[in-house]
Amino acid sequence: MATTPTALITGASSGLGTEFARQLASRGAGLVLVARDTAALDRLAGALRVAHGVDAEVLSADLTDPAGLDAVASRVADAERPIEVLVNNAGFGLDLDFAANDIADEQRHLDLHVGATMRLSHAALGAMLARGHGRIINVASVAAFMPRGTYGAVKGWVVSFSRWANAVYGPRGVTVTAICPGFTHTNFHERLGLAPGEEGVPPFMWLDADQVVREGLRDAARGKAVSIPSLRYKVLIGAMRLLPAPLAARLAKTGR
Ligand code: NAP
């Protein structure tokens, strides 16, 4: 039995995942760091062991590969080494022009955002419900609340699933929270081939990973089903829900 709670974070090699690892380690949590870039995970694990004296395990896996996903699901379900917090964070974007995208890329996108989140949540729930406690955090996006190609669609699945699962499993000790960031400084947009500033998004719309993760962890600790970090995005999404659908669709074209 672990003496301190352990968090497993997918997509820990970069951006929000790295920030989840830092903030959870600073609170004393042991870590299992998952992504494909082993060297980046090793560097992060080493730095967090030194800075916070926590256990940090590296589990390299491609979550769109069935064998990689199996390995991570087994680690999540391992009753001998319990995972108290699962953070389903790994993700990437595609061009919003669905018809022009390679269908193999679209399939990987669906497999990662929906398939891996579903599989790892299922593995975690089995173990957490048996213990009577645990926390699942699913990183969605404000894109869940607007028409935005298959990216909005997969994030909509994450929010809908998290709302339902939190209502059903929260009373049994396992909370499920969808964190919905707006535009956040990470490597996400560069990986889409966009240089900083190429987004066409005004500077005030950008968030820092530190704020997104801090507010998201706070809302998860409160057992909220949905967390929208920052007042400006809470107001924006609230207002957007009141707009007629065609206007919302026009506004949702801003940025990438
Ligand atoms: P990021 O800096 O590009 O990090 C993405 C992470 O996902 C990396 O650690 C990457 O690791 C991992 N990943 C990608 N494909 C993977 C795969 N097949 N298997 C395992 N890991 C994989 O982007 P980020 O912004 O932090 O993204 C984190 C989450 O936030 C995503 O779900 C994204 O949709 C969401 N989000 C981002 C923003 C934003 O503006 N940045 C806004 C709303 C929501 P490897 O390459 O090492 O595998």
At 13-60, the pLDDT tens digits run 999 999 999 999 999 999 999 999 999 999 999 999 999 999 999 999
Catalytic residue among 145, 151, 161, 183: 151
37 Cα nearest atom in ligand 1:
47
Q: pLDDT tens-digit profile of 73-92?
A: 999 999 999 999 999 999 99
Q: Cα dihedral angle (207, 209, 213, 216), rounded to 10 degrees? A: 20
Question: Which of these, 181, 179, 143, lies nearest to 163 by C-alpha position?
Answer: 179
Q: pLDDT tens-digit profile of 104-137?
A: 999 999 999 999 999 999 999 999 999 999 999 9
Of 142 and 191, the structure prediction assigns the larger pLDDT to: 142
Give the pocket of ligand 1 (CB within 6 Å): 10-11, 13-17, 35-37, 62-64, 89-92, 112, 139, 141, 181, 183-184, 186-188, 191
Q: At which residue do the structure tokens 């074209």 appear?
A: 253
Q: pLDDT tens-digit profile of 200-246?
A: 788 999 999 999 999 999 999 999 999 999 999 999 999 988 888 88
Taking the C-alpha atoms of residue 23 and residue 42, their distance in angstroms, rounded to an integer, is: 17
- Which residue's CA is minimally distant from atom 44 of ligand 1? 141
- Which residue's CA is minimally distant from atom 34 of ligand 1? 91
**Distance in Å, CA 18 to ligand 1 centroid:** 10
**Distance in Å, CA 80 to ligand 1 centroid:** 29
Global confidence as pTM: 0.96
Taking the C-alpha atoms of residue 173 and residue 248, their distance in angstroms, rounded to an integer, is: 37
For residues 208 and 185, is the Cβ–Cβ distance under 8 A? Answer: yes
Token pair belonging to 247:
């206007």
Cα 219 off chain centre by: 14
151 in catalytic set: yes
For residues 116 and 128, is the Cβ–Cβ distance under 8 A? Answer: no
183 Cα nearest atom in ligand 1:
40
- The CATH fold assigned to 6-251 is Rossmann fold (3.40.50)
Which pLDDT score, from 0 to 100, does residue 190 have?
86
Which pLDDT score, from 0 to 100, does residue 121 have?
99
Angle at 10 (CA atoms; ends 194, 118), nearest 5 degrees: 105
Angle at 244 (CA atoms; ends 243, 250), nearest 5 degrees: 85
Alpha helical stretches, state H, 138-187: 149-169
